[in-house]
């Protein structure tokens, strides 16, 4: 199904970087855009919501806010995530679990909350993965694991949702001109490789 030009797009992790750029591009193309992040979002022509994707109740509330504002949802962009640099031996269990809660459980929560609405519009799920899903480098093992999990999630979801007319798209960018490097958690590692 071809989506309308004024489609409703909900983007997670849109305060900076890829999420913010995606919001601006969709808006410029005529979409009605809703965005969320844990921090305040300023300067976007969009419905801006605070939401921590690790919390399924906050995700449900954010998706409902999108529906209350626009009446429908066509595209979910799972972009929220962060990196972590650490030798496996030194990474804390807390940090390991936190990156999985954000980068893997977050998209899972968002898809579950959005699916009832995407079924009505024959919409799309766009998962922002990484080249690191298939090419792990030293000190980024946990990040790569999360992106590989997101890749597997995308593959399975694509097959599940195809009969419902919902497309699943996975995007795996490499190095980007964002604050990813400076925002990534680093445990005594200089990520210059």
> From the candidates 86, 130, 143, 144, which is the catalytic residue?
143
Indicate if 39 belongs to the active site.
no
> From the candidates 15, 86, 129, 154, which is the catalytic residue?
129
Give the C-alpha separation, 94 to 51, whole Å: 21
Q: Where in the chain does DSSP place strands (E)?
A: 8-12, 32-37, 47-50, 75-78, 84-85, 124-128, 167-171, 185-186
Give the C-alpha separation, 152 to 142, whole Å: 15
Indicate if 120 belongs to the active site.
no
Give the C-alpha separation, 179 to 109, whole Å: 25
Indicate if 143 belongs to the active site.
yes
Of residues 133, 109, 129, 127, the one with CA closest to residue 166: 127
> From the candidates 85, 144, 147, 154, which is the catalytic residue?
147
Give the C-alpha separation, 185 to 13, whole Å: 16
For 154, counting Cβ atoms within 10 Å of its Cβ (0-12 exposed, 13-18 middle, 19+ buried), the class is buried
- What's the distance, CA 132 to chain centroid? 15
Which sequence positions are flagged as catalytic?
A: 129, 143, 147
């Amino acid at each position: 199904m071809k989506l309308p030009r004024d489609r409703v797009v909900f983007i997670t992790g849109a305060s900076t970087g890829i999420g913010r750029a995606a919001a601006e591009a969709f808006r410029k193309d005529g979409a009605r855009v809703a965005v969320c992040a844990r921090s305040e979002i300023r300067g976007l022509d969009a419905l801006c919501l605070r939401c921590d994707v690790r919390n399924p109740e906050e995700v449900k509330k954010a998706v409902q806010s999108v529906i209350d504002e626009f009446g429908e949802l066509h595209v979910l962009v799972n972009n929220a995530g962060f990196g972590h640099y650490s030798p496996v031996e030194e990474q804390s269990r807390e940090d390991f679990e936190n990156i999985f809660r954000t980068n893997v459980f977050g998209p899972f929560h968002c898809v579950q909350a959005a699916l009832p609405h995407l079924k009505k519009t024959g919409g799309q799920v766009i998962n922002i993965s990484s080249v690191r899903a298939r090419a792990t480098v030293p000190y980024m093992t946990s990040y790569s694991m999360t992106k590989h999990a997101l890749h597997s999630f995308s593959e399975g979801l694509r097959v599940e949702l195809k009969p419902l007319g919902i497309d699943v798209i996975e995007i795996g960018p490499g190095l980007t001109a964002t604050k990813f490097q400076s925002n990534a958690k680093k445990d005594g590692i200089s990520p210059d490789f």
